[in-house]
Structure 1
């Protein structure tokens, strides 16, 4: 099986992808975010053909690490034909050849794949997921509620009865107003043990993507922020990108009310698929903590294509893996010594 790849301009890319579900990160609208973040730039949009048949589309971001450069097709490629193991391998082979010819300084390509293969490597950095919870917003609200697990329906109904909590959409808020939300994210990260980025990263995402593609929802009680979520939207597809809740919010079920409000508001604006964005699996044990919360909103768990690294220059990629491994061992050793010293 042979696949060829060719660059596409934005208009052609969108025309060829008409009718397909294109995640925001694979759409031209994502370029505004890439352009606004240091170390990131839009690279190219490519089409992949098997003979005369267009089988996939992919949009790539160029990223700079510490001493290396790579490409990432986040949530891509977008398959227009069945993503068989052979077709995936053929596309990656053509892509590596194309990238190597275009820019010999690129060390690897990060993309998503369904089938394990010898050319795929675990991610050099960051966490991927290959299981998620997806809410179908097509039916009426009562049916969406009925499709939840029993505890999901119970928790949503309980939260709806608490008239002290008010869920609203605050898309278009000011930078100053966002600082209040960010402090709740800081609290969430400290409590649940995960790292967060600087405030400007989240604000840049909101500001660059704009209200059409980045929406903010908040649950408050007497003006206090109990929970909030950032949702990205492209066409009729939405993703629950970031979330935070205060200690008071967790005790009150504010996040349950928030998810229900987001689902109904998104449905009213034409969204038909709402991805809660990742739960744990053998490849992503770090996401165990969100499983109980997200899975109560659906009886089904969706299998999705996880991200993988594909070396363009295998020797250089292997050197990066070795260097990163040495750095992690050094950091772990320093922490162990500090722990023994009681620091």
Structure 2
């Protein structure tokens, strides 16, 4: 059977295997500057698959199309044909003047297969291309045994020193967001507005295909860490994390991650994606500590193909990508030096 893309209305996306291809994500992004285009994909297996395309008008008249982790459970050679199918077969469903269509592949890297489809590596990745995925099938004792000794030690240290972990509702988000801002200032990372995370939880309450968890770690009344974890099908993903500048010796961040793994495992999840590490174990990398932290939980290091572009308007797309490179250089090299 040939692969076919069928436009569908809001609320009609089939269930998928990744958060970024759900109705929840379509609705959230539609409230924060993007336009959502929904499709049902047939001919790729027994069940229909969702396809969410996001488009956005940029400065200077650029228009970006973005496919976040499309058809993650399908072969890469099938997914690589999507830009051609969208731009040639469905031009009336795309905004006029589309500059480029960016595909963020969840598949492990296979550059030859992508370049053969006329795609070019994007200057930047939108979602993390490298990550750690923990297999949750083993028993908890075996999961602990597969972790690095220092990680096991820190988990037990947190418990011994009285760090407690509990799950809270979305009403706790203002306190968590205050801690997240503290984290962003310390680690010099960019974050969304508090309204963004509140809407994420509000919309999740209305979408049966997604479950969000907010877990916090405390000690003697002090909020030390908090993480947001999503569940879609049998997969759980660590989305956002915050940690305090105080009592860091109590290792609360280790405790809250371990409790999250145990809870989603009990809920039927088979994998836990720690969602984002530097590409290599480079001590000079600004996020070297993040690499050590996440790889300490064991699991498999995955290098995804990341973002690739179909340049619908080649000259304008080249200008857009050049501007992206300049902006990335400024924020990663120049601004971080001050």
Q: Secondary structure at the match of 1:251?
A: helix
- Does 2:64 match 1:70? yes
CA apart distance, 1:276: 0.5
- Contact 2:135/2:299 (<8 A) preserved: no
* Structure 2 partner of 1:220: 218
Q: Secondary structure at the match of 2:202?
A: helix
Cα RMSD for the two superposed structures: 3.5
TM-score by length of 2: 0.81
State how far apart, in whole Å, the 2-side matches of 1:155 and 1:329 are.
36
Query: Counterparts in 2 of 1:115-126, with a 5 A limit?
Result: 115-116=110-111, 117-118=114-115, 119-123=118-122
Q: Secondary structure at the match of 2:81?
A: helix
Tell me which of 33, 36, 45 is aligned to 1:42.
36
* Structure 1 partner of 2:144: 145
State how far apart, in whole Å, the 1-side matches of 2:80 and 2:229 are.
33
- Does 2:317 match 1:317? yes
State how far apart, in whole Å, the 1-side matches of 2:272 and 2:335 are.
40
- Contact 2:37/2:54 (<8 A) preserved: yes
CA apart distance, 1:22: 0.9
CA apart distance, 1:69: 2.7
Q: Which runs of 5+ in 2 are unaligned?
A: none
* Structure 1 partner of 2:192: 197
Query: Counterparts in 2 of 1:288-307, with a 5 A limit?
Result: 288-307=288-307
State how far apart, in whole Å, the 2-side matches of 1:204 and 1:95 are.
30
Tell me which of 170, 173, 195 is aligned to 1:173.
170
Call closer, same or farther: CA 1:225–1:125 in 2, change over 3 Å.
Answer: same
State how far apart, in whole Å, the 2-side matches of 1:330 and 1:304 are.
25
Query: Counterparts in 2 of 1:1-343, with a 5 A limit?
Result: 4-9=3-8, 14=14, 22-35=17-30, 37-47=31-41, 49=43, 58-66=51-59, 67-80=61-74, 82-84=75-77, 87-103=78-94, 104-113=96-105, 114-116=109-111, 117-118=114-115, 119-123=118-122, 127-163=126-162, 165-170=163-168, 172-174=169-171, 177-210=172-205, 212-281=210-279, 287-324=287-324
CA apart distance, 1:243: 0.4
State how far apart, in whole Å, the 1-side matches of 2:331 and 2:52 are.
35
CA apart distance, 1:131: 1.9
CA apart distance, 1:315: 2.2
State how far apart, in whole Å, the 1-side matches of 2:315 and 2:84 are.
17
TM-score by length of 1: 0.80
- Contact 1:100/1:106 (<8 A) preserved: no
Q: Secondary structure at the match of 1:203?
A: helix
Cα distance per residue 1:25-80 (max 9 Å; x no partner): 11233333233x23123212242658x99997532223333343322221223343
Call closer, same or farther: CA 1:98–1:178 in 2, change over 3 Å.
Answer: same
- Contact 1:128/1:306 (<8 A) preserved: yes
Q: Secondary structure at the match of 1:73?
A: strand
- Contact 2:134/2:299 (<8 A) preserved: no
The count of corresponding residues between Structure 1 and Structure 2 is 322
- Contact 1:56/1:79 (<8 A) preserved: no
Q: Secondary structure at the match of 1:243?
A: strand
Q: Which runs of 5+ in 1 are unaligned?
A: none
